[in-house]
Amino acid sequence: MKIYESDYLIIQHEKESDRFVQFWKASPPSFDILKEELLTFTSYYKKHGPSQALWLQQNFSLPLNKEIDEWIEENVNVPCVEYGNKKVAFVVGKDVLVHLSVMNSFEEMSSVVSPNHFASEKEARQWLDETDTENHQNSEITILFEGIDDDGNSIIKIKRPSGDIVNTIKSFNNLLEENKFIKSNIDNYSRLTKREKEILVVLSKGLKQQEIADELYISIQTLRTHWKNIKKKLGIRSLAEVIKYVRAFEMK
């Protein structure tokens, strides 16, 4: 039964499954409008008190930030749990990076809500109904080039089992972050000598200084001199930063 409809959001109350289903007709163009819609949702949640909520995010394209995350947690998530919510499912929208911001909003806030994310409404409903879904053991990725669009952009299709949608989205983010890191640090990396790159790789193994020196057939003092020069060129201090460089630039 439809209980609410605006220019942006539709709320259905499925009484037989004790569930609210929300569908974004159009994405809110601003946080102010998003807040209005979510406050309306929360007010209906208080009135009916369903135990489940299903968000169909296909058309949602407004990236979230820390400020709105905190507002949603305080004004939507916490109250809805108090009003009876026990399970929340999201169907991933067309804009994968926007949905990544939705996923992160729950994780980074240590939210009272622990939603699951699905590639299709069918899978989401199966989980909400506590019906076992087919377990895809094969997580092989297939990448297909499908040509050029009208704006001259390459079209790349990535095929992966739908049940692995969360890891797929996080993989996109990791690739983007790594690409951003490479672009920001390529000049510093290019300043390293061949020997300094070799040392960086061995350093990334987490060995003690004497072990590193022995593996490279150099003295401790020489190693320390190289490390001092590497830190100056790259602006790094820790082993974690060394590992990040080695992984990003595929150093071996």
CATH number at 97 reads 3.30.750.24
* pLDDT the model gives residue 132: 52
Domain presence at residue 122 = yes
How many whole angstroms separate alpha carbon 116 and alpha carbon 213? 48
Domain presence at residue 121 = yes
Domain presence at residue 172 = yes
Q: What is the pLDDT along the chain (252 residues), one digit of tens a residue?
A: 999 999 999 999 999 999 999 999 999 999 999 999 999 999 999 999 999 999 999 999 999 999 999 999 999 999 999 999 999 999 998 888 888 889 888 988 889 999 999 988 999 999 999 755 444 445 565 655 667 788 877 665 555 565 567 777 776 667 777 778 888 889 999 999 999 999 999 999 999 999 999 999 999 999 999 999 999 999 998 999 999 899 888 876
Domain presence at residue 6 = yes
Domain presence at residue 184 = no
Residue type, 249: F
Domain presence at residue 93 = yes
Taking CA atoms, 49 is separated from 19, 79, 81, 85, 86, in Å, by: 9, 11, 9, 7, 10
* pLDDT the model gives residue 157: 55
* pLDDT the model gives residue 137: 46
* pLDDT the model gives residue 142: 63
Owning domain of residue 213:
191-248
* pLDDT the model gives residue 133: 45
